[in-house]
Amino acid sequence: MTSSLQQIMASTGNGLDYDKEQELKTFDDTKAGVKGLVDSGIQSVPKFFVASSEETCNEKSDLRHTHFNVPIIDLRDIDKVGARCEIVKEIGIASSTWGFFQVVNHDIPQDIADEVIESIQRFNEQPNHVKEKFYSRDKMKKVRFNSNFDLYKARFANWRDTLSCLMAPNPPPPEEYPEACREILLKFSKYVTKLGQDLFKLLSEALGLNSNHLTNMGCADGHVFYCHYYPACPEPNLTLGHTKHRDPDFLTILLQNQIGGLQVLHDNHWVNIPPVEGALVVNVGELLQVISNDKFKAAEHQVLANCAGPRLSVACFFTTHFEPSEKLFSPIEELLSDDSPPLYRGTTVKAYIDFFASAGLPAYSSLTRLRL
C-alpha cells in the first residue's frame, strides 16, 4: 500500500504525464481510501479529486450575505393534538419549500448519537488491514466499505470514505457488521426506525392523507446507513466532500458531528446547515417527491471539504432497493385531480437506485427520466 500511495503523491507533485484511469485504479487498489492518503502525509490534493472552480465556488462567497435558516422543528409534544397540528404544518411547509429541516426532541438519546459518531470514527481509524476486509464495489453487498461509490464515473472524486450497512429489511447476520460499530449501529437502527415511522405519519398528515398512508405504501419498510468519514483536507478549496446531489430515497435522517460543511440549495443560494446539539437533519428524497406529485421537493445539497476534521456523519436512507420487488411507486391517487394531474411515471425502487448508481455524481436528477 505504501508504494501505491507514494506513486499517487509523486505524480501529484511533479507534473508527470497524467493517466486518470491508472491513478484511480492505483488509489482504489490500496483499499485505504482518502484516510490512507492523509495518513501517508500527502500535502496536496491528487488531480483526480480536483473540481472545476464553478463546482467548488457555488456562491460560497454569498453565504454570509444570506439570512436563510433551515427550519428547526421541535417534536416534543408530538402526541398532543394542538401541538401536533402545528408540527404537521411546519413539516409540510419545510418539505414543500426547503426539502430540508432539523428536528429536536426526537427521543433518540444524545449518548446513543454520540456513541454512533464515535464508533464510525473508531472504524475508520483502525489499521487498514482490518478495514480492507470490508472494501468492495459490489453495490448489492449489504455491508461494504469504499471511497466514492462512483469513483470511475465521476468527473472528480470526493474527499470522503463510506461504510454502508443495510439495516432493514432482511439485514445480514450481526457478525457481518464491523466489530468497531456493530452493537451501536444495531441499537441506533431501532431508534431511527421509530423516528422514521413517526416522520412518515407527520408527512402523510401534511399531505392531507391518513397518518398511516406512507407507511402502508412501504416507505418505511427498509433503511440503509451510509456512514461517511471526511478527513481534514490540505486544499479544501480544490475539491468537495460530497458533490451536489439529491437523495434517491423516500426520506433521509442525518446524524452529524460538530464539524460543519453541509449545505442545501435554497432560492439559488447555498445555505449552511450548521450542526445543532441534539438535532438531526431530515430531508425529502426524490422518491417522496414522485409519490407526492411535487407537493414535497427533494433539494440539492452538498458537503464542503474542510481543513479541519474528520467530519463524521451517518445518513439513514429509507429505501428498499436491496429487495427484489416489482412494486411501482407513482403519484398518490388521492393527491391527483384535473388541476393536479400526475407528473411522473411509476418506478420500482431498485430501478430508480440502479439508474442513480450507474449515472454517478454529479448527474442530472433521475426525476427527469420519469417526468410525463
Residue 138 has which C-alpha cell?
Answer: 459490489
- 3-state percent helix, strand, coil for the chain, nearest multiple of 5: 40, 20, 40
Q: What 3-state DSSP class applies to 238? A: helix
Residue 64 has which C-alpha cell?
Answer: 454570509
Q: Please state the pTM of the whole predicted model.
A: 0.94
341 Cβ neighbours under 8 A, 6+ residues apart: 372
* Average pLDDT per block of 10 residues along the chain, 372 residues long: 58 65 97 97 96 73 62 96 97 98 97 98 97 95 96 95 97 97 98 98 98 98 98 97 95 96 95 95 98 97 95 97 89 97 95 78 74 92
Using N-to-C axis directions, what is the helix angle for 2-14 and 20-30, rounded to 10°? 150
Q: Are 48 and 156 spatial neighbours (Cβ–Cβ below 8 Å)?
A: yes
- How far apart CA 342 and CA 340 sit, in angstroms, is 7
- How far apart CA 311 and CA 135 sit, in angstroms, is 20
How far out from the chain centre does Cα 48 lie? 22
Task: Using alpha carbons, select from 236, 235, 136 the residue that is nearest to residue 178.
Answer: 136
Query: May I ask the CATH architecture of the domain 1-10+18-370?
Result: Sandwich (2.60)
Q: Are 56 and 238 spatial neighbours (Cβ–Cβ below 8 Å)?
A: yes
Phi, psi of 307 (to 5 degrees): -75, -15
Locate the domains of the chain by residue range: 1-10+18-370
Predicted local confidence at residue 59, as pLDDT: 46
Residue 226 has which C-alpha cell?
Answer: 451510509
Whether the bond into 248 is cis, omega within 30 of 0: no
Looking at beta carbons, which pairs linking 92-98 to residues 24 or more positions away fall under 8 Å? 92/203, 92/206, 92/207, 95/203, 95/206, 95/284, 95/295, 95/296, 95/297, 96/295, 96/296, 96/297, 97/297, 98/70, 98/71, 98/264, 98/266, 98/299
- For 31, 47, 235, the CA distances from 38, given in Å and listed in that order, are 13, 15, 12
Predicted local confidence at residue 56, as pLDDT: 79
Question: In the sheet that 301-304 helps form, which strands lie side by side, from edge to edge?
Answer: 240-245, 301-304, 262-266, 269-272
Query: Which helix (H) or strand (E) is 131 found in, with range?
Result: helix 128-131
Residue 91 has which C-alpha cell?
Answer: 413539516
Predicted local confidence at residue 11, as pLDDT: 56
Task: Using alpha carbons, select from 202, 194, 188 the residue that is nearest to residue 284.
Answer: 202
- How far apart CA 218 and CA 359 sit, in angstroms, is 26
For residue 366, count other CB atoms closer than 10 A to its CB.
21
- How far apart CA 152 and CA 28 sit, in angstroms, is 10
